[in-house]
Amino acid sequence: MPAPAYWSPELADAPDSVLSSDQCVIAGEHFFVHGLVEIPVIDTAETFTWGVWVSLSPDNFTRMGRLWETPGRETEPPYFGWLSSELPAYEPTTLNLKTNLHTRPVGLRPAVELEPTDHPLAVEQRAGITRARVRELAELLLHPEHQE
């Protein structure tokens, strides 16, 4: 996902809004970090990964930003956040699922751990997906016009 679901192109010119590949601020009040939801692919050593945005509190966003280039940052406790990306393959919506954002070593995007609910994305993160599901997701993402 190139931006949080709440971003719109006209915000690019707003002085209190910014979107980079890693962080986003909207109207100086809403703070987001780009992370990865990793889903194991069953019976392989592979992982299917969604690039998503997670909202953070102002304090957690400031702390994470202060430690962005600090070696050892991965020892930080996880940051609570809300999933702020709407992934097209899931019903109900993925917006506002509860998450924990785990910082990783410098240069690596944070890992997004979903609250263990019965939401299909959370179930897939816990249980894994088949290669057939990976193909289904790839088809949906590469050729959305062929979907019903």
> What is the per-residue pLDDT across 16-34, written as a single tens digit (0 to 9) for each?
999 999 999 999 999 999 9
Assign 80 a pLDDT band (cuts: 50, 70, 90).
very high
- pTM over 0.85? The answer is yes
Residue 147 binned pLDDT confidence (cut-offs 50, 70, 90): low
What is the pLDDT of the chain when averaged over all its residues? 95
11: pLDDT strictly greater than 80: yes
Pairing type for strands 18-19 and 23-26 reads antiparallel
| Contacts of 24 by beta carbon, 8 Å cutoff, 6+ apart | 3, 4, 7, 18, 31, 32, 33, 34, 53
